[in-house]
Each structure stands twice: as structure tokens, then as C-alpha cells.
Structure 1
């Protein structure tokens, strides 16, 4: 029996995953199936036939839209990144108060994400770890995704008048990524709170 894509929709309806969005056309149907399988079972381990079975489409349809599996992976990462950033920065836009509050709110949002039953970690972290340095397209996609966060963090650090804006952004990003990996491996959302406490100490030191 073909899996129902809606089954994997985040229960709170937050819409952080492209795979949870009802497909609008054949291309989206293929990408939705591939996204779920890549993110939950691995990029290399997921074969084209498995994607076709889940999507319920013919091989000719897939290759009409994507010339190769590598092209499909790149499209999935782009779609997942865009969807997740829309959700994440949308949540951040609701946070009131000074920059310090907004930075710390990052970890509250992460905890909500980690607690979702559909949480599978960050597809970019997973892809880079899986392909190591052997796939430039994957690494470039991951770098672009991370740049959005770093740019936002730098803006908050500038507002805080941090002594080293770049280093402040990088330090928070390290806690951000570390919390994601730890929560994924341990299946424990509270790693977000641990990272938040560490971020508070770091930001307090920056205020000197």
C-alpha cells in the first residue's frame, strides 16, 4: 500500500518540512516522497525505485523532471531549506523585545521542532555527514542554508553591540547545530534548553 504523505505532517501544523506539504503536481509528488525518504532513511540508502513506489509515479515521469538522483537531491535540499526557513524565521518574527531575547528564542523554537514526532534532524547536516566532502553541490547547499542563520545572528549581534559580531554569530551557530545533532541522536528535545543556558552565559560574557 502506498504511504500517505499527510501521515508525516507535523502534528502542530507548523509546516517546517516540505514533505508535509500536500503536493500540487507530479514534480512535487516526487519531491515529497524523496524528501521523506532521504531525510528519514538516508540519501545514499534511498534508491530511485523506492522513491517511485512511495510517489506512485513512473520512472519516465521522474526523469522528465530530474535528470539524475543528484539533481533530485539538490532540489529536495533547496525545497526543504526554503520551507524550514520560512517556518523558523516566521516564528522568530513573532518574538518581541531586544536582540538578546530574539537570540535566546531561537532555542525555544528549536525545542518545539525537536519535540515534533516527525523530527528527523537537519537534512543539511545529515547530507553533509553522509557525503562528507565528496559532493560539492550538497556542501554548497548546506553553506547557503547556514548563511541565512549566520546573517540573522550577525544582525542581532550588531544590535547588541557585541565586541566581535562574526564570532558571536558563529558561537551561537555552534550551539544551534550541536543541539540539533544531540537531540536527533538522543531523541531528547531538552538539549535545546541546555544549549539555551549555554547561550545565555555566552551572551552575558559579551556584555562584559
Structure 2
């Protein structure tokens, strides 16, 4: 079954997907099967039996590790977030140059992600869109994931000596999320380039405003 998972959710050199990595035990096999199905077919639409069939695991094994589907979803979101951030921030750490260079490089990394055959969008954006706004577990997971990104963006804004660090971070978060959703819906990775052009214009405007 693991071979089928690798074929359907390619383990590329980018290695951004938790679902595409090899499993070390039954718990991870369940989580990876669930991750692939949730991300590609939807959280609500994916039933427990479908996950068990894909993981080739008994129901008893599932409930030995997870008390409910909601608990499984939370574990999958945490794992996907950690895997993606490791890849994303690892790529950005290789960028040499200024904070501006790193901020614009964000969209180069996103374009690589969008162009991957296994790209299924952001699981956090997908989950929040699917679930009722009162689902605290999903919203907490999404907020934590976003906070990692906002913190990194704020650090770049501080280095730029921006007057409003939070505003710069929020503006880039809007461009990033917008590019992700547009690329997912259109299957066109070039939306990363469109967002990069807008980001460059935004940074140019910040520089102009900072001049005496």
C-alpha cells in the first residue's frame, strides 16, 4: 500500500508533504493515509472506513491511537504543518542577501510548491474552509501554523526597518494565502509570480515612504 501512496502523492525532492514520507509504524501509516485523503478529497468527505482501507489497518488499531476522527484530523494538521514549515523555512534559510531578497524569494519557493504534481493547496486553509467556525481545534491548529509564518515575516520587516512591522507581515500573509488559493483552484503555479510582482511593488512603496 505504501507504494501506491508514493505514486499518488509524490515524494519529490522538495519533501514538503507529510503524507508522502515513509511510515515508521502503524500510527504514522494511519496518519499518512488520512493526510492524503483529507488533503485531496476533503476532511468531511473522508470517512474512517476509507482511511482504514487505504492504510490497510484494523479499526481497533485506529482507536488505539486516536479517540475520534477529530483527534486524527488534529494530529494530521500538526504533522503536515511541521513538515511543510521544515521544508519552507529550510529553503528560505538558503537565500543569501537582504530581507527584501528573502521576502521576494518566498514566492520562488511557493512556485516550486505549486508546480509539484502532488500540490493540493494548504491543508489549514482547506480545513478552516470546510469546518464550522466554531471548530476550535481546527482553528487553533491553523492559527498556530499562521503564527510561525507571521513571526518570520515580522523578523524580515524588522530588518527592513519598517515603521509598521505587523502591517508588513499581514500584507505578505494576504499575498501568500491569495497565491495559494489561486494556484490550487487554477492549477497554475504562475500565480506565485503575480504575487511576487505585487510584493516587489509593495516593498518599493515602503522604501519610498521611508525616504526623508
Q: Shorter-chain TM-score category?
A: over 0.9
Residue 62 of structure 1: aligned partner? 62
Q: Contact 1:16/1:87 (CA < 8 Å) preserved in 2?
A: yes
* Deviation at residue 190 of structure 1 after TM alignment: 0.2
CA distance in 1, matches of 2:74, 2:12: 27
Residue 134 (structure 1) shift: 2.6
How far has the Cα of 1:12 moved from its partner?
A: 3.3
Aligned mates of 1:152, 1:69 — CA distance in 2: 32
- Counterpart of 1:7? 7
Asked whether the equivalents of residues 3 and 54 of structure 1 are also in contact (C-alpha less than 8 Å), the reply is: no
Q: How many angstroms apart in 2 are the aligned matches of 1:117 and 1:57?
A: 27
Q: CA contact under 8 A between 1:124 and 1:141: conserved in structure 2?
A: yes
Which ranges of structure 1 fall in alignment gaps of 5 or more residues?
A: none
Report if aligned partners of 1:2, 1:54 keep a CA contact under 8 Å in 2.
no
CA shift, 1:163, in A, is 1.4
The aligned counterpart of 2:38 is 38
Mapped partners of 2:11, 2:197: distance in 1: 27
Matches within 5 A, 1:1-208: 4-10=4-10, 12-208=12-208
**Is the 1:11–1:117 contact (alpha carbons within 8 Å) kept by the matching residues of 2?**
no
- Residues in 2 aligned to 1:111 and 1:132: alpha-carbon distance in whole angstroms: 30
Write out per-residue CA displacement over residues 41-90 of structure 1, whole angstroms, 9 at most, x where no aligned residue.
00000000000000000000000000000000000000000000000000
CA pair 2-204 structure 1, distance change in 2 beyond 3 A: closer
**Quick check: 1:5–1:22 contact (8 Å CA) kept in 2?**
no
Once residues 13 and 168 of structure 2 are traced to their aligned partners in structure 1, the CA distance between those partners, rounded to angstroms, is 32
For 2:2 and 2:114, locate their aligned partners in 1 and report how far apart those are by CA, in whole Å: 27
| TM-score normalised by length of structure 2 | 0.96
Deviation at residue 132 of structure 1 after TM alignment: 3.6
Distance 1:114 1:49 in 2: 30
Contact kept in structure 1, 2:100 and 2:160, CA below 8 Å: yes
Contact persistence 1:9–1:15 (CA under 8 A): no
* Contact 2:11–2:20, Cα closer than 8 Å, also in 1: no
May I ask how many residue pairs the two structures share in their alignment? 208
Shift of 1:8: 3.3
Shift of 1:37: 0.1
What are structure 2's unaligned runs of at least 5 residues? none
Q: Is the contact between residue 114 and residue 189 of structure 2 (CA under 8 Å) also seen in structure 1?
A: yes
Residue 72 to residue 106, structure 1, CA distance change in 2 (3 Å)? same
